[in-house]
Amino acid sequence: MKLHVAICDDELTGIAVTEKYLERFHFETGVEFQIQSFTNPDALLKNYTVPRAFDLLFLDMEMPIAGEMKKGIEIAKQLRALPDPDLRIIFISNYPEYMNLGYDVQASHYLTKDVSFEKFSQVLSEIIRSLSHDAAIIRIKTGREDWTLLRVQDILFISSVPGKRDQITYHSINQTLKEHRSILSAGNTLKQSGFAFANKQHLVNLRHVRKYTNNHLVLDNGKELELSRYYKKEFLELFSTEILTLSR
């Protein structure tokens, strides 16, 4: 696995520590990193003109540049505006009070500048796990001899076709696809990839759940689905244990 990493920190010592930790992580795990480092956030933005330019960004929370304080949270907002939901952002700062601000830009983690390698390695391992989930591809048999490849991350939900026990519809960000397969079979395959049943007819990708109530949930695209009493406990358990990793 190879990740494109950006480090943005006005302090060269901070960049050096992050690079050192990434190098050590590489030797211990085999994960490769292509690293670009920036001491000025304007240079980072100049090199980040298209989505997916980087997989992971280590971003200093405060950077005094030319007499002006550059806030990492504002830089992150500009990057999210591309939009680029796949970018994992790790904020680095000496000020823990900034931690809650990261939720506004879907930050993956917050680390202090004196973080130990053990903590750094734990956080990076969680992010790589979520990236592996997002890179997963499934093959959908759409005809007798036709197969379509679909990225797991792009699936919003899967529904059973009314009146047809062994036919399901994949509702993705860009398309819908039908397959002769039971929804229980799809659930068994995708449960380990962050999916959960909302009800007997709908299997939901937890990444795309915007909010839920006692008996309904809403997805990113505004689609509202019933959250049945039978599946609610399992759904909430999976959501609480998985979504913090999958959405980052």
* pLDDT value of position 246: 47
CATH number of the domain located at residue range(s) 2-134 in this protein: 3.40.50.2300
Q: Cite the residue boundaries of each domain of the chain with CATH code 2.40.50.1020.
A: 136-246
* pLDDT value of position 134: 67
Q: What is the pLDDT of residues 188-213, one digit of tens each?
A: 988 878 899 999 999 999 888 888 88
The fold for domain 136-246 equals OB fold (Dihydrolipoamide Acetyltransferase, E2P) (2.40.50)
Give the 3-state DSSP-derived string for the chain, with helices as H, strands as E and coil as C.
CEEEEEEECCCHHHHHHHHHHHHHHHHHHCCEEEEEEECCHHHHHHCCCCCCCCCEEEEECEEEECCEEEEHHHHHHHHHCCCCCCCEEEEEECCHHHHHHHHHHCCCEEEECCCCHHHHHHHHHHHHHHHHHHHCEEEEECCCCCEEEEEHHHEEEEEECCCCCCCEEEEECCCEEEECCCHHHHHHHHHHHCEEEEECCEEEEHHHEEEECCCEEEECCCCEEECCHHHHHHHHHHHHHHHHHHCC
* pLDDT value of position 103: 44
Q: What is the pTM of this model?
A: 0.59
Residues of the chain with pLDDT under 70: 65-67, 69-70, 83-85, 95-108, 133-135, 241-248
Q: Cite the residue boundaries of each domain of the chain with CATH code 3.40.50.2300.
A: 2-134
